Structure 1
Amino acid sequence: MKLPINENFHLRLTNPDDAEETFAVVDRNREYLRQWMPWVDGVQSSDAIRQHLDSLQAGIHDCPEFVLVYHGKIVGRLGFHRIDEQNRNTSVGYWLDAGQQGQGLMTMAVKAAVDYAIHTRKLHRVVLMAAVDNLASRAIPERLGFQQEGIARDGERLYDHFVDLAVYSILEPEWSARSAE
């Protein structure tokens, strides 16, 4: 599945063939990503990514993950952590190559993902969490009209310490009203 954004940018469901290119992006951004992502040290080869992608493709969990493809190259990932069909909600996580930041790519990607969650998957609530000090990541839900619900104190373990997470959400009626503007 592909979610087109513009002629140079789209989201595509990830697959095991993406492992090498994704690993290369992670590896060259290792120091940057490690500031915010607790999984970076566990990704030491493309095999680690391939194993994760194999489990996604096997359908073990309902957690769609997309690669961000900009000018034909993978520049990041965006994924739904878990889709809860019973309660019609999900949460979204993402990362982007440091060299591609500041162009609005992740804002456009999150917008496309929320459209998919609400309009295609018929979900009611989308949650996004970001470390309170990760101002660039927090700006995305704020730009897209998410409401900050609060702070999850020590909400994530980041290697040798815990970080507080800002918790944002948007509901289907709020998203639909924004889309109609």
Structure 2
Amino acid sequence: MSIALVLLVVVVAVNLLLTLALVTRVRTLQTMVIGGGPEPLPAPGTPVGTFAATTADGKLVTDTELRDPTLVGFFSPDCDWCEKARVALLASPPAMPMLAFVRGNDNDEKARALKSSLEGVARVAYTDGDDPAYRAFRPTGWPSLFLVKDGLIAAASHELGEVVS
């Protein structure tokens, strides 16, 4: 009976090792197929590129205005994570100026609604995903949030709590 028990333990241990090796291999292949995920956001210390954008109320905002600490966010109307960030911002507005870029335009009802809701806590401008403001920050995914100080990115994340504490 004890030989059978030892043999069973050995078989179970070999099975466990093979299963772990298979899981590791599947994860490696999955990463290769996906391509490693989106490009990382710009690192802290990266200068904000040159841009000029017109906010929804017709005022011009440029990169030269980003000297004092400013929260900058890029939002999309069809993004669940953007909605969570929006709700958090409205519930607890940041204690600093905020500039929000909404993907879309006034012809898009969802973009208009998102813009309107953010206007209570931020200056809001539209982005098409390839305009000077978008290229100045190089966001990857939605939302992309940046804390800017002295024209440099001080923090960047897709999570509001990692940018504003």
Please give the TM-score of this superposition, normalised by the length of structure 1. Answer: 0.29
More relative contact order, 1 or 2 (CA 8 Å, 6+ apart): 2
Q: Hey, which of these two has a bigger chunk of strand by percent?
A: 1
Please give the TM-score of this superposition, normalised by the length of structure 2. Answer: 0.31
User: Larger radius of gyration, structure 1 or 2?
Assistant: 2
